Amino acid sequence: MEQQGISATEPDWSREAIRRFWDPGQKLLRAVRRYQAARARGGPVARLVSRYWALNHLFWSTICQSEIHLTCQIGGGLRLTHPTGIIIHPDARIGPNCMIFHQVTLAGPVVLGGHVDVGAGAKLIGPLTVGDHAVVGANAVVTRDVPAGATVAGVPARIIRQG
């Protein structure tokens, strides 16, 4: 699905660029990506490098008070606007160009499509799938699949606008 000329499948890597010294969200993502790249290479040097990035990840996870597992699948262009208190299950899959605000929990095998925005304090309790270009309102508790382009809000979350 394509909306407003923005592709749901092509990541915008500039969203993850580290622009200043104190960019904890971007530095946390960099640690995850570099750890995964080192593990994928294999070999003794890569194991050593992956340990460095695991320690780097631990540091930024502590600073952010977030728990983003090193093994979860994250599409390019993820934006962690305020990375405090974000918890992402190791089986979660995040599509390209998503935005996750603070205090969000992805519990269980949650699948976010491309260009999904998740509001502050939202809880997504899987297994469930959120379609491309969907919006999850702040403090929503999502326990069912969300169709593409929909906006959900409330406890439990209900569709308040169909895209």
* Strands (DSSP E) found in 89-142: 93-94, 99-100, 105-107, 110-112, 117-118, 123-125, 128-130, 135-136, 141-142
Give the CA-trace dihedral at 122, 123, 129, 134, to 10 degrees: -10
Contact 16, 78 (CB under 8 A): yes
Q: Which of 82, 89, 102, 115 is catalytic?
A: 82
Does the annotation mark 89 as catalytic?
no
Catalytic residues: 82
